[in-house]
Amino acid sequence: MQQITITDKSYTEWVSQLSQRYRKSQIKAAVKVNSEMLKFYWSLGRDIVKNYLDNKYGSQFYSVLSSDLRRELPDVSGLSERNIRYMKDFYLLYSQEKAILPQLVAKSDEANLPQLVADSEEALENSWLAILFQVPWGHHRLIMDKVNGDRNKALFFVNKTIKEGWSRDMLLNFLSTNLYEREGKAITNFKDTLPEPMSDLANEITKDPYNFAFAGIRGRYNEKVLKDALLRNITEFLVELGTGFAYVGKEYRLQIGEKEKFIDLLFFHIPLNCYVVIEVKIGEFDFPDAGQLNGYVVACNHILKQPHHNPTIGLLICKGKDNLLAKYALEGSNQPIGISEYDLEKLYPTAVEGMIPSIEEIETKLANLENNNQK
């Protein structure tokens, strides 16, 4: 049978729409499958916690449960002993139930087996817990590994994953850079100079300190070297700044009367619908720095800002700052400005600070080993 080709425009558009519709249905189906799986994991973790099953049945409980479930459900993955332990941690973290010490639990054989439908599906769907079921299980495991039982920190990364659409690798990257402790921590006057809710949203786009380790700078450097390094690594720079920043230019020229002024770095923040002026200083913050940035922000509002744009925001990123000095400087400005620091070293989580040996310690250890081997 001879195959025909339909070239009618309405037909080809319909086929394209069908394809898009199918892709969307696939995505919705995947999200639904993930959601139902996580609800099951939640319920399994809940049953273990509320019925003290690991305490009741002893140290081999997880291994036995894993074997029994895989025997009953041979075609189901994710029922390993380790994964079941994560399910219990998942429930404990977000329900904030307290783990019960073994000696406080009666080891009576009369204890009832868990009721697997104790919490209704409707109750889970209508509670704040529903956001948890939008995030893949692999992401949840990474979060649980890194937050050390801090529910607020865990929810921060859950929300960021949903909002930013982070892959697992992106999530891992931000979990290892103290983002929770840094985001929204710049000293700003946004509350006094911007309307709500823009002031809150503007504050969220700041960090303190910014992690510029990707710039790869070692030894002596000046502001030009730092800015050049940031732009050579523009992808990493934009990732560190956060979602929504669009790069406009470096040393951006403004003609103000008879004088030329040059902004270090100019961006446009799409969700906030405003220009963002970024000045980078390699020294300690001082009052004149805020005055200079204030002037650039005013100039942008006059020269670049369109009627449909929101007010320009200024961000000063310096090597160091006295917080009280920064606060005093911002009190004297009627323009929205934030002041942050930057760090050229990788920001390790607090929990591992002091645990990573220095080069000198490693060399000393190797020398001692060599001496011992020669004896």
Distance CA 241, CA 247 (A): 11
Torsion of the alpha carbons at 12, 17, 18 and 20, rounded to the nearest 10: 130
Distance CA 346, CA 226 (A): 16
Q: Is the pLDDT of residue 355 over 50?
A: no
Higher pLDDT, 98 or 87: 87
Distance CA 289, CA 279 (A): 9
Q: Is the pLDDT of residue 101 over 90?
A: no
Distance CA 159, CA 174 (A): 13
Q: Where are the domains of the chain?
A: 26-106+118-179, 183-349
Q: How many residues does the chain have?
A: 375
| 259-315: pLDDT as tens digits | 999 999 999 999 999 999 999 999 999 999 999 999 999 999 999 999 999 999 999
Q: What angle do CA 108, 114, 115 make, to 5 degrees?
A: 145
Within a 10 A sphere around the Cβ of 131, how many other Cβ atoms? 14
| pLDDT classification of 3: cutoffs 50, 70, 90 | low
Distance CA 355, CA 28 (A): 44
Token pair of 329 as six digits: 């400087």
For the chain, give the mean pLDDT: 85
Q: Which residues contact 24 (CB under 8 A, 6 or more apart)?
A: none
- Residue 290 buriedness (CB in 10 A; 0-12 / 13-18 / 19+): buried
- Residue 79 has a pLDDT of 93
Q: Which residue has the tokens 């929300």?
A: 159
Higher pLDDT, 251 or 24: 251
What's the farthest any 2 CA atoms get from each other in the chain? 90
Distance CA 315, CA 277 (A): 6
- Residue 116 has a pLDDT of 44
- Give the residue from 230, 241, 303, 292 showing the smallest Cα distance to 271: 241
Q: Is the pLDDT of residue 32 over 90?
A: no
Contact predicate 146/175, CB 8 Å: yes
Residues 193-216: what's their mean pLDDT?
93
- The pTM (predicted TM-score) of the whole model is 0.75
Please state the φ and ψ torsions of residue 56, each to the nearest 5 degrees. Answer: -70, -40
Asked if the 183-349 domain carries CATH number 3.50.50.60, the reply is no
Q: Are strands 210-211 and 337-343 parallel, antiparallel or unpaired?
A: parallel
Please state the φ and ψ torsions of residue 279, each to the nearest 5 degrees. Answer: -110, 135
- Give the residue from 240, 218, 245 showing the smallest Cα distance to 230: 240
- Residue 264 buriedness (CB in 10 A; 0-12 / 13-18 / 19+): buried
Contact predicate 47/114, CB 8 Å: yes
Strand partners for 8: none
Q: Which of 128-137, 179-188, 197-206, 340-349 has the lowest mean pLDDT?
A: 340-349
| pLDDT classification of 353: cutoffs 50, 70, 90 | very low
Distance CA 70, CA 73 (A): 5
SS3 185: coil
